[in-house]
């Protein structure tokens, strides 16, 4: 992510409850800021649309609704409130996070045991999302962040979609990324196995130091899509146990029906690996307003 240019917060007059705001990053449509909420004196993050296309507005509104429903889960980023600019653009006020799985892995702050524990906790977050009749559809190492207390949280719900029959993948994602599940590239209906693929792909990248399917400079999205659809996922090697590498390859099968059917199933496999390695088993927290709160793992 390219950092936004430094300077005064452009919306200071409209959002006067926030001070010391500084840009920390941007994507195609959104600028991210960190700073202090004056009324509560807490550190927060703001997600502000700088290019309010209809699709971008829909995505951030969708994200606000999803986060409002899932606010209680300890491994889902907390939306503190939703505010609006004078022109009606929504602004999400989020808990401040201090890095992503990608940056933590690159900085060498996570060993193999910690990475498996993080993936297990995020599996619980995804299982909770699915219990609410939703799918994330954009899991990646950058969508997994850390709170100031070191807990991993799932973020970036702009591509979340109902898991209702008939929903097409082309309504969710329009461009290939290195973590896009094959069925989304084919315009097929996503399922819980789509998020299993995304979580496995994210963990694969941080363990291997590279994504399973690399994106090369100047390459078209179509070329990346063809590799995701046609090429095999290779064994990671190195210090990564073969059993863990094989599990991720299984979870990244090109056919959704050939993968573990749910994040909970994937977490159970992570637990078996933890047990075999002599590590403490990580608890996966599953909850949701539709169902009973439970703990597995």
Number of domains the chain is built from: 2
Burial class (CB in 10 A: 0-12, 13-18, 19+), 249: middle
pLDDT at 1: 39
243: tokens are 């059993």
pLDDT at 29: 83
Closest by CA to 252, choosing from 190, 170, 191, 194, is 194
Q: Is 6 a domain residue?
A: no
- Do residue 162 and residue 72 come from a single domain? no
- Do residue 179 and residue 265 come from a single domain? yes
Q: Is 77 a domain residue?
A: yes
pLDDT at 230: 95
The CATH number linked to 172 is 1.10.510.10
User: pTM for the complete prediction?
Assistant: 0.90
The answer to whether the beta carbons of residues 2 and 25 sit under 8 Å apart is yes
pLDDT at 165: 56
Give the domain extent around 116.
97-296
pLDDT at 18: 93
- Do residue 86 and residue 101 come from a single domain? no
Q: Is 1 a domain residue?
A: no
Q: Which has the higher per-residue pLDDT, 30 or 293?
A: 30
Of 80, 95, 110, which residue constitutes the final position of a domain? 95
Q: What is the DSSP string of 97-129?
A: EEEEHHHHHHTT---HHHHHHHHHHHHHHHHHH
Mean confidence (pLDDT) of the chain:
89
Calpha distance 46→83 (Å, rounded):
10
pLDDT at 246: 98
């Amino acid at each position: 992510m390219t950092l936004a240019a430094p300077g005064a917060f452009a919306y200071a007059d409209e959002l006067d409850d926030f001070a010391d705001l500084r840009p920390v990053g941007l994507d195609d449509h959104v600028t991210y800021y960190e700073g202090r909420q004056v009324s509560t004196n807490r550190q927060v993050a703001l997600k502000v649309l700088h290019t309010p296309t209809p699709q971008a507005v829909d995505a951030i509104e969708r994200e606000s609704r999803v986060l409002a429903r899932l606010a209680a889960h300890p491994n889902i980023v907390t939306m503190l409130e939703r505010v609006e600019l004078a022109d009606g653009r929504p602004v999400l006020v989020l808990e401040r996070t201090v890095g992503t799985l990608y940056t933590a892995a690159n900085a060498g702050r996570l060993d193999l045991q910690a990475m498996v524990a993080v993936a297990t906790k995020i599996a619980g977050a995804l299982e909770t999302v699915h219990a609410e009749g939703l799918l994330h559809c954009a899991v990646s190492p950058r969508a997994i962040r850390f709170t100031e207390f070191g807990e991993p949280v799932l973020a970036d719900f702009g591509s979340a979609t109902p898991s209702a029959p008939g929903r097409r993948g082309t309504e969710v994602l329009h461009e290939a990324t290195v973590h896009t599940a094959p069925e989304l590239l084919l315009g097929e209906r996503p399922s819980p196995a789509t998020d299993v693929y995304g979580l496995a792909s994210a963990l694969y990248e941080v363990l291997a130091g590279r994504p399973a399917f690399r994106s090369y400079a100047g390459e078209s999205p179509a070329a990346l899509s063809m590799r995701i659809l046609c090429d095999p996922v290779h064994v990671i090697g190195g210090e990564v146990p073969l059993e863990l590498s094989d599990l991720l390859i299984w979870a990244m099968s090109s056919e959704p029906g050939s993968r573990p059917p749910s994040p909970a199933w994937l977490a159970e496999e992570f637990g078996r690996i933890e047990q075999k390695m002599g590590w403490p088993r990580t608890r996966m927290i599953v909850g949701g307003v539709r169902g009973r709160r439970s703990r597995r793992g």
